[in-house]
A and B are shown apart, each in its own frame.
Chain A
């Protein structure tokens, strides 16, 4: 699998887009989605919530396990992806596209990795 080079990554396997008008999109990587298996339920923060970089902001539930979703950024949530709430399998099939999770008005971010560093981390 290849990790898109235009994204930034956390060690917790989230990705973050470069901000547009101060807002970035958050998702989880293909690596994380594959490791979780079929995702059956996602619990996301709500629009207007403030999330904090490195802290839990939701849950991803797969057939076999429940995993915390960590926010890669601090800021106000401006939008959540209703499509993945309705169809959690989108996170497995399109983790970098239709399976995005939420958008955040970024005030600060966690320590981020570029695609090469993230790939090295997960294939190291």
Chain B
């Protein structure tokens, strides 16, 4: 299958980006040094092309009830122009994907799925819509998505829009005009920084990218690829589907049981996966399964995904789900599932790095939290 290209493909190539196949999309991995891109987002601002993300519009009189049925969150309780992090699970509680749902109108929601799962989510929502007075529409081709993230993001956006940015809260969105183009402007992101995500028509993507590049030139805005996006989210302790989340795990296994809302008042309180998730919740209460923790290494070798975590005695106690050098901390970090007995912050464990046990310390997530 040939790779799909975003509306910004030619621009990435003109910027000399190293491209990579990501979930069937040819995406920029990095433009120069991924470490410098990472640090730019932490200290100034970065500009991302996230057009591979999958937008699905759910609309109609029962759109909220459909989403309450199909997802684990209490979506109909979300205010208009607000966003929520949620998940879609199978009947057995396994996670199909993690999602951001934006309520764009009283009877309309935009569900944003991971690129690798967009079709799965679309199919599940379509199937689960049976019997609801609601329409599920594939809008993947209707939107390009840009993100401006970092402490200077607010100032940069202010210079190209009249939108009420001070009034735009974290996890909220607005219909806005940015650099003369109509967009959905959301205060969301995946970097641990303040920032904005801009859903626009693909035909407007290049104009917006150029306008933001010019607006951010004096603030040190740089184009950023998927490589630094991954290290940024890792430092911020945010899960990534296929690493921390999978169909083999429930939200409770992933330490994210709070996204499951058993208190829904629609559909008689029923939703897909409820029974299995109640059991998972009860199990987590009395006998917690492996826990998701942070690991910090004092060495230089990097604990990477799928490496085995071992106890001080050398016994296997878990596995790494994501690992990388942390540009902000200056040392290797990792997220891992470890047995609950070894999950307390401060516990000394080790990681089997290609045959050698490298000592690491368990820490609470996230590794990095911005000052507010």
> Roughly how many angstroms separate A41 CA and B331 CA in the complex, as a whole number?
11
Q: Which 6 A/B pairs are nearest by Cβ-Cβ distance?
A: A41-B300, A40-B325, A38-B35, A63-B34, A38-B33, A38-B34
Which residues of A (20-70) have their CB < 8 Å from a CB of B?
34, 37-38, 40-41, 43, 61, 63-64, 66
B301 adjacent to A63 (CB under 8 Å): no
A37 adjacent to B304 (CB under 8 Å): no
Please indicate which of the listed interface residues A38, A41, A66 has the most CB atoms of chain B within 10 Å of its own CB.
Answer: A38
> Roughly how many angstroms separate A43 CA and B302 CA in the complex, as a whole number?
12
Q: Please tell me if B154 contacts chain A, counting CB pairs below 8 Å.
A: no
A41 adjacent to B302 (CB under 8 Å): yes
| Count of A-B contacts judged by CB separation below 8 Å | 36
For chain B, give the interface size range.
10 to 19
30 intermolecular pairs with C-beta atoms under 8 Å apart:
A34-B18, A37-B18, A37-B29, A37-B30, A37-B33, A37-B34, A37-B227, A38-B34, A38-B35, A38-B325, A40-B300, A40-B325, A40-B332, A41-B301, A41-B302, A41-B325, A43-B301, A61-B300, A61-B301, A61-B302, A63-B34, A63-B231, A63-B324, A63-B325, A64-B34, A64-B227, A64-B324, A66-B302, A66-B304, A66-B354
What residues make up the interface of A, taking CB atoms closer than 8 Å to B? Answer: 34, 37-38, 40-41, 43, 61, 63-64, 66, 92
Q: Which residue of A lies closest to B354 (CB)?
A: A66
Which residues of B (150-193) have their CB < 8 Å from a CB of A?
none
Q: Which residue of A lies closest to B30 (CB)?
A: A37
Q: Give which listed residue, B18, B33, B301, B325, contacts A92 with CB less than 8 A.
A: B33
Instruction: Enumerate chain B residues within 8 angstroms of A64, measured Cβ to Cβ.
Output: 34, 227, 324
Give the distance to chain A from B59, nearest Cβ to Cβ, in Å.
40
Give the distance to chain B from A112, nearest Cβ to Cβ, in Å.
28
> Roughly how many angstroms separate A101 CA and B153 CA in the complex, as a whole number?
41
Please indicate which of the listed interface residues B35, B304, B324, B354 has the most CB atoms of chain A within 10 Å of its own CB.
Answer: B35
Q: Which residue of A lies closest to B35 (CB)?
A: A38
Q: Which residue of B lies closest to A64 (CB)?
A: B227
Instruction: Enumerate chain B residues within 8 angstroms of A38, measured Cβ to Cβ.
Output: 33-35, 325
> Roughly how many angstroms separate A25 CA and B324 CA in the complex, as a whole number?
30
5 additional A-B pairs beyond A37-B18, A63-B34, A92-B33, beta carbons within 8 Å, are A37-B33, A38-B325, A41-B301, A63-B231, A66-B304
Q: Give which listed residue, B18, B227, B300, contacts A63 with CB less than 8 A.
A: B227
